[in-house]
Structure 1
Amino acid sequence: MVVVAASPDLRLDAGTSWLDLLASVGNAYTADPVERLTGPEPMQRWLAHHGLTPERAPTDADVASARALRETLRPLVIAVLDGEPVPAEPLRALRRWLDADTSLRPVERNGRPAPAAPPTPEVALARVARQALEHLGGPEAEHLHACAADDCRMAFLDPAGRRRWCAPDRCGVRARVRAHRARTRERGTPA
């Protein structure tokens, strides 16, 4: 994958941690992808957002593992979205992360029971992989959608079934602007 200059903005609006991991590369379906998971610090922010801050801070090797998990999940989600058979190799490769999973340990956090922090980034990624597998093979798969923008196709969860775009303020606005410009060109009036 060719990678363009890094963007400091992580996408955290896909509806779940594993889909946000997929969104950590922008323009993934174009010739110019944008890597957003550029190092240990952005990975730490991404994990913290999802309540997966590990006891040990991520390293460059953990970032490489997160990117590899992301690219392992991508063909699986595309197959589910397109109603195609699931490719065998990525499904087998997912085992690498699932094997690192550990049992959840309960702790009290803010007066409520919660899972203890994962001991390592590897275990945090295992939890992400487990969630992806459960969603792709469970009832959540019915709520999985792809952005209608051809240059985006970001996957997101939409339990209400009303969203057409990954984010109305991003792809939705761009699509409306393109449609407006096309209509004005047809009428021969300046945009």
Structure 2
Amino acid sequence: MASGDGSARIRRLRFDTGATWLDLVATVGDAYGETPVERLYDLARLREWLGAEGLLPRHDPGEDDLLRAHALREALRSLALATVRGNAWPAGDVARVNEFLRADVPLELQAEPAGPRVRPPATARESLGRVARQAAEHLTGPEAAMLGTCPDHDCGMLFLDPTGRRVWCAAEICGVRHRVREHRRRRAAG
């Protein structure tokens, strides 16, 4: 996957999927197109993503954490797609996510002067364990029935749709792109 290819729109991190674990899956732009774009292309980008999700660890992530994030992302993508399609989960991806779940640490509440909060993760491994926990809970709970995929053939981004009315990952991106394609197709045909 290219990190320098594609537009700024494709390279920007997405936080509109409805869940942190799906935001991780969305760290590849145009995942099903001819030229997928890696959005977590370096440690600075991983730190940015973890910070935006409220999961920035106390200890700075390393290169191995970036590789782990990629591995978790792809295993979660596989499990989510299997869930949406009504297929069995691939055993290798279940085992991979279970590895991350074993690194999960119980949450602790903290009373802070700025207000109560959950103790931040100590390491990126712990951060990814929290992501895996949310995914496991969603994939085995009522949220599994709320999983949707963007119908744009290049995008296919996974998202939670609790209303049952969401069609596109983002109407202003893929919805507009679809309407433009349909308009051009009708003009060419007519």
Match for residue 170 of structure 1?
A: 173
CA distance in structure 1 between the aligned counterparts of 2:80 and 2:111, rounded to whole angstroms:
34
Q: 2, 5, 8: which one pairs with 1:4?
A: 2
The CA deviation string for residues 53-94 of structure 1, in whole angstroms up to 9 with x for no partner, is: 110121111111100100111110110011111121111121
Q: 154, 159, 165: which one pairs with 2:157?
A: 154
Alignment of 1:1-191 (within 5 A): 3-6=1-4, 8-109=11-112, 111-187=114-190
Deviation at residue 170 of structure 1 after TM alignment: 0.9
Q: Which residue identity does 2:172 align to in structure 1?
A: D
Greater RCO structure (CA 8 Å; 6+ sep): 2
Count of aligned pairs: 185
Secondary structure of the structure 1 residue equivalent to 2:176: helix
Deviation at residue 138 of structure 1 after TM alignment: 0.4
Deviation at residue 143 of structure 1 after TM alignment: 1.1
Secondary structure of the structure 1 residue equivalent to 2:183: helix
Aligned residues: percent identity? Answer: 45
Deviation at residue 31 of structure 1 after TM alignment: 3.0
CA distance in structure 1 between the aligned counterparts of 2:53 and 2:140, rounded to whole angstroms:
21
CA distance in structure 2 between the aligned counterparts of 1:72 and 1:86, rounded to whole angstroms:
10
CA distance in structure 2 between the aligned counterparts of 1:142 and 1:74, rounded to whole angstroms:
16
Contact preservation (8 Å) 2:34, 2:154: no
Deviation at residue 132 of structure 1 after TM alignment: 0.5
Deviation at residue 109 of structure 1 after TM alignment: 4.7
The change in CA–CA distance for 1:109 and 1:19 in structure 2 (over 3 A counts) is: farther
Q: Which residue identity does 1:85 align to in structure 2?
A: A
Deviation at residue 113 of structure 1 after TM alignment: 2.7
CA distance in structure 1 between the aligned counterparts of 2:171 and 2:112, rounded to whole angstroms:
34
TM-score computed with the length of structure 2 as normaliser: 0.92
Deviation at residue 29 of structure 1 after TM alignment: 1.5
